[in-house]
Amino acid sequence: MEKKSVIGRILTYTAVVLSSIIMAFPFLWMLSASFKDDLDVFVFPIQWIPETFKFENYSYIWNKAHYPILFGNTLFLAVTITILQIITCSMAAYAFSKIIFPERNKLFLAYLATLMIPMQAIMIPQFMIIRSMGLANTRMALILTQAFNPMGVFLLRQYYQGIPNELSEAARIDGLTEFGIYSRVVLPLAKPAVASLTIFTSVAVWNDFLPPLIYINSPSKYTIQLGLRNLISEFSAEYAPIMAASVISLIPILILFLTCQKFFVEGAATTGLKG
């Protein structure tokens, strides 16, 4: 029995290591390519360690693509939208999980049903609404269209369901309002789920391409993804500098994940256990 257990662990660790290598392969290739000449990026077999490290790719892309502007615009949108989603999703999730009102579950299912509507189906009417409000070519257009997230509501609601209702009842007896219970009792206990939502939202906004492409047409308001796309012309592309820009763009996301890793793992492990 012990021999089978050891073999099982070896197979498990082997599978985990192989999966990790496969998942890290694109990042390692991108990192290696960022220090090469354009002609050496697609050389086969891959030369993982360049003969000459071309650090100029980073300074070149920083200046040519106006990277500080792209970085600042993307960071502003990511932080703003993430904060708004945490607020709206956590409050809606509290209402759907801790407040009893008529047709609560049906309304929640109807809200979740909006996830089945593809972005392409609402893209044109949404743009027309934004344009009629005079918000075209503004950051507010991106903020308003992404401030609400049904998946975020579902994620937090499932976590809230695991918080005993006795805590809320005791808080009501002590005289707390519903908002007080939400902000002082339930939300502090939901840090793992909030951390998961923070990572999901930040990564999604940081890597977003289609909404900025639709609503933004001023280069001074471009995000990183639009800026990188502009480096690819019809006949040529500066792949090595693009890889350098991609490496730089990953740094904030890596810092965020490492910061929230403990809560993220806990939230991923416990969210959805009770529904």
CATH number, domain of 144, equals 1.10.3720.10
Q: What's the pLDDT tens digit per position in 60-72?
A: 888 777 888 888 8
- Percentage of the chain lying above the pLDDT 70 cut: 92
Two tokens, residue 133 = 């409000």
Q: Is residue 6 part of a domain?
A: no
Q: How confident is the model at residue 92 (pLDDT cuts 50, 70, 90)?
A: very high
Q: How confident is the model at residue 80 (pLDDT cuts 50, 70, 90)?
A: very high
Q: How many domains does the chain have?
A: 1
Quote the pLDDT of residue 264: 60
Gap between the Cα atoms of 176 and 183, Å rounded: 10
Quote the pLDDT of residue 2: 62
Gap between the Cα atoms of 128 and 39, Å rounded: 44
Sign of CA dihedral 152, 95, 148, 251: negative
Gap between the Cα atoms of 186 and 179, Å rounded: 10
Asked if 80 and 144 count as a contact pair (C-beta separation under 8 A), the reply is no
Could you count the other beta carbons within 10 Å of the beta carbon of residue 251? 10
Q: Is residue 45 part of a domain?
A: no
Quote the pLDDT of residue 235: 46
Q: Is residue 165 part of a domain?
A: yes
- Burial letters for 159-183: b for 16+ Cβ neighbours within 10 Å, e otherwise? bbbbbeeeebeebeeeebebeebbe
Task: Give the lowest-confidence range in 93-107, 236-250, 257-271.
Answer: 257-271
Quote the pLDDT of residue 87: 94
Q: Is residue 40 part of a domain?
A: no
Could you count the other beta carbons within 10 Å of the beta carbon of residue 102? 6
Q: Which distant-in-sequence residues (6+ apart) come within 8 Å of 36 by Cβ?
A: 47, 50, 54, 240
Global pTM reads: 0.81
Q: Is residue 9 part of a domain?
A: no
Q: What's the pLDDT tens digit per position in 207-248?
A: 888 889 889 888 888 888 888 887 776 446 677 888 888 888
Quote the pLDDT of residue 233: 62
Q: pLDDT: is 210 or 268 the higher one?
A: 210
Quote the pLDDT of residue 274: 45
pLDDT of 100 > 50? The answer is yes
Q: Is residue 183 part of a domain?
A: yes
Distance, CA of 102 to chain centre: 34
Quote the pLDDT of residue 84: 94
Q: Is residue 167 part of a domain?
A: yes
Q: Is residue 104 part of a domain?
A: yes
Q: How confident is the model at residue 259 (pLDDT cuts 50, 70, 90)?
A: confident
Gap between the Cα atoms of 121 and 95, Å rounded: 29
Q: How confident is the model at residue 4 (pLDDT cuts 50, 70, 90)?
A: low
Q: pLDDT: is 257 or 183 the higher one?
A: 183
Quote the pLDDT of residue 227: 83
Two tokens, residue 200 = 């999901």
Mean pLDDT score, 132-143: 90
Quote the pLDDT of residue 275: 42
Which domain, by its residues, includes 158? Answer: 55-270
Two tokens, residue 223 = 């995000």
Largest pairwise CA distance in the chain: 71
pLDDT of 77 > 90? The answer is yes
Mean pLDDT score, 245-270: 73
Residues recorded for the chain: 275
